[in-house]
């Protein structure tokens, strides 16, 4: 499998409240861990968002990689940040390399 694209995986950090208790929110800011992986990005479709007063376009992509990724991760590539939709799939063929596949979503506008 050829993996021509260099992607950045952003792994969020948990947020705590003023008392040190964890809250149900993840932070993808500068404090979040980042790592570069090789992957193959393929577009799978796009649809306009029918929300009134908004010119948003939702695009979907498929990512293939040999690096493990998690549902909570974000993928950055070519100046765009993608959200992983659903659980990434792990494929372990009998003969060959384990690879991961994930559906990604990007909203523009």
Per-residue pLDDT tens for 5-20? 999 999 999 888 888 8
Does CATH place domain 5-108 in 3.20.20.70? no
pLDDT tens digits, residue range 19-56? 888 786 788 999 899 999 999 999 999 887 666 777 88
**Complete DSSP assignment for 2-48:** ---EEEEEEE-EEEE-TTS-EEEEEE-STTSEEEEEEEEEEEEEEEE
What global pTM score does this model have?
A: 0.83
- Cα 97 to the center of its chain, rounded Å: 21
The domain segmentation of the chain, as residue ranges, is: 5-108
């Amino acid at each position: 499998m050829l993996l021509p694209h260099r992607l950045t995986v952003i792994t969020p950090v948990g947020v705590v409240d003023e008392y040190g208790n964890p809250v149900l929110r993840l932070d993808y800011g500068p404090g979040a861990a980042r790592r570069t992986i090789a992957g193959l990005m393929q577009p799978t479709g796009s649809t306009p968002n029918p929300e009134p007063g908004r010119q948003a376009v939702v695009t979907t992509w498929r990512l293939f990689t040999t690096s493990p990724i998690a549902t909570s991760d974000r993928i950055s590539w070519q100046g765009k940040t993608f959200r992983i939709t659903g659980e990434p799939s792990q494929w372990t063929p009998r003969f060959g390399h384990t690879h991961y596949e994930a559906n990604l979503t990007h909203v523009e506008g």
